[in-house]
Amino acid sequence: MALYDLIVLGGGPAGYNAAEHAAHAGMKVALYEERALGGVCLNEGCIPTKTFLNSAKIYESALHGDAFGVTVEGAKIDHAKVVDRKDKVVKTLVSGVGAKMRGAKVTVVTGSARITGKSAEGFTVTDGKEENTAKKLLICTGSEAAVPPIPGLREAVESGLAVTNREILDIRAVPKALCVIGGGVIGLEMASYFAAIGTKVTVVEMLDKIAGPTDREISEILQKNLEKKGVEFKLGAAVTAVSGKIGAGTVEYKLGDKAYKVSCDTVLVSTGRRPRTKDIGLENLGVQLNRGAVVTTECTRTSVPGVWAAGDVNGKSMLAHTAYREGEAAVRDMQGIKDSVDYRAIPAVIYTKPEVGTVGETLESAKKAGINASEHTMSLRYSGRYVAEVEGGDGIVKIVIDDDHKTIIGVHMIGSYASEIIYGAAAMIAEEKRVSDVQKLVFPHPTVCEVIREDLFTIK
């Protein structure tokens, strides 16, 4: 048994980043992780999907290079090799996180952590073999795929006909037909990849639009682009049953009163994720939960003094970059440094082709919040670089303005580099920049981000 200043439960982006910061701040830290370091993001989320999508991008460029004067004879994609490369990239990055932990002198415990209670010295945590104690706890146990109670779906997951974000990354044979339940971020990124490599993809989404809270016009542009690649969308569709076996499955859904069927060899369940708060002993401390998520303040404190929570487990934003920031805020709060996470300015990206990058309010959400807002839309074709690099592109940027204060409160973009551009927009929102402030900024030329500047000059 050892006594630590801090025990971190979970080695994903929130946990490993916080552990490193805390150790550099002089704390004696133990980090518990039951699987590989890096969490869902590194092992079965952000990073592996980006390796897939980059291979698709290269393949699509080879297939459709004609307009750019490039012809590639016999272009092929070998999905098994894409999976091998993904494994290599993940392995490299996971070992990088391990090296960081060693460098910071964080004790990594490989095992499932469970909080057993509180002693005179602090909180007690066990991995089933040994109990350790810490003055402070940080809960970073992340989230898991939520499998909705659709008849037959649980059995389909057990038989391997249906997969989640985890298993789909290891399938080596290209599915001929993939049915995606849920047209959110995971569903769309995987639809984009598999459609690009020749799979017949059908997305069944219960809402009347894809991409969840994304601005409706941007969702529609994305949908059109994916349809051009052959993805079929069934919107407003309620899935009623899943049946069959690997290689011969059926997804049944209803549109209004009419029943339909999709035949497929694999089903991807991407209907959202839920915080992982079960079986970690939170009840032994009385940590308050709300619908399964740990309730936290803006500086990540839980209801129990001495216990913080960061990342997906608090159910607030469920993004790796929010997790990093929350982990840092937690450590600063532990040190008595005032900090809070600014949830108004968290960028979100969908890494499809074209990419979507959004941050802040949409016109719809602003109006709902009672803000006197307006939106200003401009085609990315105002960018010379965009026209030079993209044939027939239909990308746009939308800027949402608080008209009472003339500040930028939302930026929404679809098109090339959106994922890299959006952080600049997040900074404008976090710093409550006025339109007139940003009009004075110098943007590099020629770039796609210049359209933000052009768009701002249309605002009176």
By annotation, the residues acting in catalysis are: 445
181 Cβ neighbours under 8 A, 6+ residues apart: 148, 150, 153, 187, 204, 239, 242, 251, 267, 268, 269, 270, 271
Smallest distance, Å, CB 232 to ligand NAI? 14
206 binding ligand NAI? (CB under 6 A):
yes
Pick the closer one to ligand NAI by CB: 10 or 187.
Answer: 187
Torsion of CA 149, 154, 155, 159, to 10 degrees: 150
270 binding ligand NAI? (CB under 6 A):
yes
Residue 377 class from Cβ within 10 Å (0-12 exposed, 13-18 middle, 19+ buried)? middle
Q: How far is CA 402 from the centre of its chain?
A: 27
3-class secondary structure, 59: helix
47 binding ligand NAI? (CB under 6 A):
no
Tokens 């939520």 correspond to what residue?
Answer: 146
207 binding ligand NAI? (CB under 6 A):
yes
From first CA to last CA, the distance across the chain in angstroms is 66
351 binding ligand NAI? (CB under 6 A):
yes
236 binding ligand NAI? (CB under 6 A):
no
Pick the closer one to ligand NAI by CB: 201 or 239.
Answer: 239
The one among 22, 30, 47, 181 contacting ligand NAI by CB under 6 A: 181
Stretch that binds ligand NAI, among 127-135, 199-207, 274-282, 288-296 (CB under 6 A): 199-207
The one among 30, 180, 185, 331 contacting ligand NAI by CB under 6 A: 185
Stretch that binds ligand NAI, among 72-80, 94-102, 204-212, 360-368 (CB under 6 A): 204-212
Smallest distance, Å, CB 165 to ligand NAI? 7
231 binding ligand NAI? (CB under 6 A):
no
Tokens 């091998």 correspond to what residue?
Answer: 84
Smallest distance, Å, CB 240 to ligand NAI? 9
311 binding ligand NAI? (CB under 6 A):
no
Torsional sign, CA 292, 294, 296, 302: positive
Stretch that binds ligand NAI, among 17-25, 168-176, 183-191, 333-341 (CB under 6 A): 183-191
Pick the closer one to ligand NAI by CB: 113 or 242.
Answer: 242
Half-sphere CA count of 109, side-chain side, radius 13 A: 23
Smallest distance, Å, CB 212 to ligand NAI? 5
Pick the closer one to ligand NAI by CB: 153 or 285.
Answer: 153
Pick the closer one to ligand NAI by CB: 206 or 246.
Answer: 206
Which two structure tokens, joined as six digits, stand for 83?
């999976």
117 Cβ neighbours under 8 A, 6+ residues apart: 123, 124, 281, 284, 285
Applying CB under 6 A, what is the total number of residues that bind ligand NAI? 27
| Cα–Cα distances in angstroms (integers) from residue 81 to residues 78, 85, 137, 170, 172, in the given order | 5, 6, 41, 11, 9
Distance CA(456)–CA(9), nearest Å, equals: 45
Distance CA(197)–CA(254), nearest Å, equals: 29
Q: Length of the chain, please?
A: 460
Pick the closer one to ligand NAI by CB: 371 or 426.
Answer: 426
Residue 421 class from Cβ within 10 Å (0-12 exposed, 13-18 middle, 19+ buried)? buried
Smallest distance, Å, CB 133 to ligand NAI? 34
Position with the least CB separation from ligand NAI? 184
184 binding ligand NAI? (CB under 6 A):
yes
The one among 98, 111, 198, 212 contacting ligand NAI by CB under 6 A: 212
Stretch that binds ligand NAI, among 23-31, 198-206, 398-406, 408-416 (CB under 6 A): 198-206
Which residues face 138 on adjacent strands?
8, 308
Q: Which positions from 57 to 76 touch ligand NAI by CB under 6 A, shown as an x/- string? A: --------------------
Q: Residue 445: count other Cβ atoms within 10 Å of its Cβ.
A: 11
The one among 272, 292, 306, 424 contacting ligand NAI by CB under 6 A: 272
Residue 158 class from Cβ within 10 Å (0-12 exposed, 13-18 middle, 19+ buried)? exposed
The one among 350, 390, 396, 413 contacting ligand NAI by CB under 6 A: 350
Give φ, ψ of 223 to 5 degrees: -60, -45
The one among 182, 275, 357, 410 contacting ligand NAI by CB under 6 A: 182
Smallest distance, Å, CB 265 to ligand NAI? 19
Smallest distance, Å, CB 17 to ligand NAI? 17
Residues contributing to the site for ligand NAI (CB under 6 A): 45, 148, 150, 181-187, 189, 204-207, 212, 239, 270-273, 318-319, 348-351
